[in-house]
Structure 1
Amino acid sequence: MRAGAAEQASAGEPASSGERTQRPWLAVLLMAAAMLCFTTLDTIMRALYAEHPLPMLVFVRNLVQVAALALLVPVIGPGFTRTRRVGIHILRGICLVLTTVFITLALGNLPMAQTYSITFSTPLMATVLAAVALGERPSTAQWVCIFIGLVGVVIVLDPQDFVFGPALLYPLAMAFFNAVLYVLTRYAGQQEGPLTLVFWASLAALAICLAGLPFYAVPIPLTACALLAVGGVAGTAAHLMITGACRLAPMAVVSPILYSQIVWAGLIGWLVFEEVPAAHVMMGSALIIACGIVTLRSRTT
């Protein structure tokens, strides 16, 4: 699951009951389109990672997102740029940088479908972390889902032909830091709206990248910058569409659509990288997705 999607969907200012149930089909379409945008961004990052240094890609990607969100100020107003939780957002920015790094490393070394299948364990990890950090008490059904979801991860890793390598740690690390980001966002989201959460996480991530820029700065061709601009705009559009979807339908309706990303990943992986998901990946994905849906729905009902 792309960094920031689940946590943004579960945090922020709730809409009224009437507003949330007005157009559920539009909400579903917006959420599915958001997942396509995230997958497009990941595809661009994966393609550019083969020829360009990862730190520069992460820097430009965050720069584009902050610039795109800043352009919304004249339209929406400066209200979403105000916060009282700078420290929390700095931690969220660190997590955002790490999730971007690890998802790119994972996609650069593993098939897209397998990578996303493992990262979909984020809600399961977040449930455990929330129980420890926030004192939330998972139900018996949620603990069962966590166990079954971990079984799904093992199936995706294919224990029969398992060969340990650093590449397998990348999607697991992405899922872990995304889960930390999820928990931090749930905490900050008690007082701040979705756009504020997205803006400040992106700004903190950009500041972190700027701090290290003198140590890794190298020129990037204009064509690569243009592709990163497209990816950054796609990522920003995805955040905005998730915000819109959550205001058009209940979370129980829109949260399962987060997992449509595996469909886009399988399609793009096949069309762009000629990857065909293996049977064990699809089987494990089904278990992880089913458990993730139950976990998300039980947290929002």
Structure 2
Amino acid sequence: MSEAGAEALRRGRRDIVIGALLMVVATFCFVSLDSILKALAARHDVLFLAWGRNLFQVVYLIAAMPFLGARRMLVTRHPFIQLCRGAALVGTTVFIVLALKTMPLAQTYAITFSAPLIATVLAMIFLKEQPSLRRWACILAGFAGVMVALQPQAPGAGGFLVFPLAMALANAGYHVLTRAIASDEDPLAMLFHVGFFALLITSLALPWSWSWMAQWEWGLLALGGAFGTLAHLLLIEAFRRAPTAVISPMIYSQIIAACLIGYLVFGEVPTLATLLGAAIVIASGVALIRSRG
């Protein structure tokens, strides 16, 4: 192998490692955002918090336009699908915050990990993708894991267990819509427009959802918006550097972040059923991602 070829190989391996690490950091950012929303949801309306989270994301991206390129963010070929992605993002945010109001972080994430499995089913219906028998086996095993994690160990959870499932469904819809236009849109445009349309949608509810917050609460919400924006930018860079089959399984490191933050911040100790269910869903998701047919 030539020296140039060896250097290219080393650069490729380095990019894969960096991409995987970026994905892990992104998942910790997402859990940090959700933890902030969980804390604020005890005092404020969920739709108002979703509005604030998207407001700060749009503000941060506008501030970054001189560095990342205004045209790259503003030009879109699929405004209607971007609007639908914004609606799906609103649903994802609202449902996960509603779940976290009554459920531990770890249990909520164990259930929402079913999103890639649901996305595969939705892609079969709407994008005419045909999963193989191996993929169907992964999907069924994953949902079995969800059933294990669904055991209502969270105090007072009860019917609120529907919220993480609804979040997984909304997130799956978001994934399918993203996949439908990913090859035809700039990633930065997809990031800006999903936040912009989500902000417009949640603004419609402001007359009913507005909540007065203390300065420190606005600071927390601004920090949450920064975590969310940074997480999405890290995702873009991660997928630019490494293959999907390497990067996507890294999202399951969220369960580690959820257990750690849940214990340190909220005093939550994950149950055996939660961890077992999460392990089954994670194994099924990884197998699904790595499956070629």
TM over 0.5: yes
One-letter code aligned to 1:34 = A
Q: How does 1:36-115 map to 2 (within 5 A)?
A: 36-78=28-70, 79-115=72-108
1:141 counterpart residue number: 134
Which protein has the larger Cα radius of gyration, Structure 1 or Structure 2?
2
Q: Which runs of 5+ in 1 are unaligned?
A: 1-15
Look up the SS of the partner of 1:109 in the other structure.
coil
Distance 1:21 1:199 in 2: 30
Amino acid at match of 2:264: L
Measured in 2, the distance between the counterparts of 1:237 and 1:259 equals 18
Deviates more, 1:119-128 or 1:50-59: 50-59
Do the aligned partners of 1:30 and 1:245 also contact (CA within 8 Å) in 2?
yes
Correspondence for 2:179: 186
Aligned counterpart, 1:169: 162
Counterpart residue type for residue 121 of structure 1: S
1:32 and 2:8 aligned: no
Q: Amino acid of the residue matched to residue 32 of structure 1?
A: V
User: Measured at CA, do residues 137 and 166 of structure 1 come closer, stay the same or move farther in structure 2, by a change above 3 Å?
Assistant: same
Task: Report the AA paired with residue 250 of structure 2.
Answer: I
Share of identical aligned residues, percent?
A: 45
Distance in 2 (CA, whole Å) between partners of 1:113 and 1:28 is 22
Query: 3-state SS of the aligned residue for 2:110?
Result: helix
The change in CA–CA distance for 1:160 and 1:44 in structure 2 (over 3 A counts) is: closer
User: 1:259 corresponds to which residue?
Assistant: 252
Is the aligned partner of 1:199 residue 2:195?
no
2: CA distance between counterparts of 1:131 and 1:227? 40
| Structure 1 position 77, deviation (Å) | 1.2
Checking the alignment, whether the CA contact within 8 Å between 1:126 and 1:183 is kept in structure 2 is yes
2:280 is the alignment partner of 1:287: yes
Q: Aligned to 2:205, which of 197, 209, 212?
A: 212
> 1:203-261: CA deviations, max 9, x gaps?
00001112222232232221111000001001100111111111121111111111000
Q: Is the 8 A contact 1:150 1:288 kept in 2?
A: yes
Query: For 2:99 and 2:106, how far apart are their aligned partners in 1?
Result: 11
Which SS does the other structure have where 2:205 is aligned? helix
Count of residue correspondences: 285
Root-mean-square deviation (CA, aligned residues, Å) is 2.2
TM-score with structure 1 setting the length: 0.89
Once residues 205 and 147 of structure 1 are traced to their aligned partners in structure 2, the CA distance between those partners, rounded to angstroms, is 32
Tell me, what secondary structure is at the counterpart of 2:204? helix
Contact map agreement 2:152 2:158 (CA 8 A) in 1: no
Aligned equivalents of 1:229, 1:242: Cα separation in 2: 20
